[in-house]
Structure 1
């Protein structure tokens, strides 16, 4: 039985000159951008996110380029749902922003991040564009990237693209989680490495095909490879034969709370979950056996969760939380 994951993402101040399919693109990043231009775009971003929260068509029409307005419903469909339903708030942080001057009015541009984490590629129809990468989060756990592209048309900045997708967790993106996975694997914790790498793999496309991480192929490769290693090493259900009641470990997966991502073991027990006293006595043995068997997990964390359920009653469980002292 394969493990199931319940996964529901540096300031640049230099001027970069980058190639865009044969033409040069001069890119100004973050603080290198004229402060008045930044203020103009920031005001537009504020208006845009506010409009997403209440489906303000008047504001969309004011912000959008002719091409954007021609396909308005399709252009905003991906981003509007989360803000309109209140899943995401309109407050955000600026991850990176780029003001770009292109030699050609219709071409492809490519921006390489100075920290070496990603490249950003997109097609532009005008000689000046502005890319805003904004981050916002759900419950301070799951991070989302809002990718916004403006084009300067007849002297005015007009919205041409917006996309929303999972970016990471707790302020870390896909490449950050891959680095954590590498560290855990090096330390001998294959389960942690797999969990972190799966988070990374799930957040590889925060801007459709426009943003590409430099480690993308390695992330995809190791997520699959470590999945195979985990499946080979740990079989489910796993009977705990050293305990008289022989509970069965059904799964292990990550669980998120506001403090971070932690492991949760789910196990089937014959002890009625309503009989908490007997259940607690059995749990002490379960906890000891799990630590003996699952050596691929780093137990030196603030929390480890355990959920006990009765046969056929997966929705009715008793949860134990082991807190590191």
Structure 2
């Protein structure tokens, strides 16, 4: 008798069925796959005609060890014990045990060994069989993770001492030295996206920014020219309200309406906007600023006041978009020569 879990594993190991197996770690997936291969061999499938692919070398090694262990055990088991073992697998025809005993030798003698390998090594084997069609050298070697990191570091060193130094320094403004290891690895993985040059105007368009938009244009989004008169009306009203509104009134009174700059924007961002993730601020506090009592006191001035707050929010959004666009531009200016040098050194 088998419990439900065992029966499901036997069904999954049935080589006559197409099976998609999903289970948690440690639940017996490797055993099921090993049993499936063993049952394929029992049906007469030649070992060289079976292909098993895994994600990692460790998984491939474990599966191969388990399979050889199972087949070797069958070769040595007494007849009664072997018959019970095969019945546990789900094999109903256990009359001829000699085939099961010969499987270990057949697997050992298979030319090239059992094909239990990683997806990576399988693809490399195909490329070696068809180097001309794939456009690779027949003597190529797969680069391992450690070698790839060393190669990426060598390329960075070469860029730091060569004509692409400016591209490296441009990206370094946005990333720490520790970030570069992960960043360059990701660039290599996505290197197809950096094959062609991308113009600044195109990148600005990705972020809904006009060509040439810069820091000087950010205040123009918030300040349209009517703010001085607005604050002259609203300021005295806010100054007569709660301490919080009095602080807001003082902040607004200190704004430079003639030539608003960085300090003015920062003061408005702090006063008018909610703080988001990682300090990003874009949503206006129109539901809480001004307070209910102050809003009633503002009367008809409340609408223009909230409009001003919304313009400040749009200015912050544009500033965040500009920062993202500059990072993206720096990334593309760096990645293109980095990938080219990486590919050259990798050959």
User: What is the TM-score normalised by the length of structure 1?
Assistant: 0.21
The one of the two structures with greater contact order (alpha-carbon pairs below 8 A, sep at least 6) is: 2
Answer 1 or 2: which has greater helix percent: 2
The structure with more strand, counted as a fraction of residues:
1
Q: Which has the larger radius of gyration?
A: 2
